[in-house]
Amino acid sequence: MCTSITFHNGDHFYFGRNLDLEYSFGEKVAILPRAYRLKFCREPDLEHHYAMIGMANVTDGYPLYAEAVNEKGLCMAGLNFPGNAFYGEEAEGKNIAPYEIIPWVLAQCATIDEAERLWQGMHLAGIPFREHLPLAPLHWIVADQKRCVVIEPMKEGVKIMENPVGVLTNNPPLDFHLTNLRQYLNVTAQPPQDRFGGGWSLSPFGQGMGAMGLPGDVSPASRFVRAAFHKANSVCEQEESANVSQFFHILDSVAMVRGSVLTPEGKCDITSYSCCVNAGTGVYYYKTYDNSRISAVNLFHEDLEGEKVTEYDLVKGPQFYEVN
């Protein structure tokens, strides 16, 4: 389970997510330089392309990205979509394995408009990375400064939909989440007005009562609504530290506390990491479940004309600032 959001404040644009999982997948911050030879199962290799940064498991030198942003500011993340995700057989056209789609798109496209042209004739084929690594059932959120779309591979075909809310969680599909928002038309950040009737002049007895009815559980549908509400009502200064702090506060509002969500196998589903990237500057911020201190990795501080992936281990242990 995961939550991804986009965030605009003035000219600043940010993208990121919570990754909710009951285990570590060997994730590291991975920077893919322009001269890294990108190999694809069925499509031609790319010898030179846009550089990108994101969270990935790097296996045999190949970055399996959970999310990433390229040097042009195009962002993409994969989120769990079990029961609905469907990868078909290879067909005439462009056959892309699901694990390839993030580097395939971000390597070649600077905007969603360009990506839409690339997606023409695209088939998401059920080709695993390795026999012992089964494909994860995913859908993807893609965003740039101007637009946000969602890619959902389903039995009836690959659906590519505009996402005006700029939020994505898991099941059900996006069209359900957008319709479900209509059930919360009365939720507001303002003090509630007395619409009860009876002429009793009822008044709120505490702050925040305008948002009564906002779902508090961590199901995908509830997280979508809650993240959309906090994003829509966000107020912060148009300054980097304020924007990044606000972004993580929004993600915190839909994070999973260890022990509050158990998988069918009895394991704890937790928000193993949260990330936020400034799509304009290429700075990738993250924090982990046990380390709330925000770490930052800058895409443009690396040699982007290199040929090898640069990996940074996550800072996971608690860090305390001792005042006395």
Domains assigned to the chain? 2-170+214-312 (3.60.60.10)
Classified as helix, coil or strand, 121 is coil
Q: Catalytic residues, which ones? A: 2
What count of other Cβ atoms lies within 10 Å of the Cβ of residue 86?
16
Residue 204: name the closest of 196, 194, 217, 195 by CA.
194
Q: Is 266 exposed, middle or buried (0-12, 13-18, 19+ CB in 10 A)?
A: exposed
CA atoms within 13 A on the CB side of 230: 21
For each of the chain's 324 residues, which pLDDT tens digit applies?
Answer: 799 999 999 889 999 999 999 888 889 999 999 999 999 999 999 999 999 999 999 998 999 999 999 999 999 999 999 999 999 998 889 999 999 999 999 999 999 999 999 999 999 999 999 887 789 999 999 999 999 999 999 999 999 999 999 999 999 999 999 999 999 999 999 998 888 888 888 888 899 988 999 999 999 999 999 999 999 999 999 999 999 999 999 999 999 999 999 999 999 999 999 999 999 999 999 999 999 999 999 999 999 999 999 999 999 999 999 999
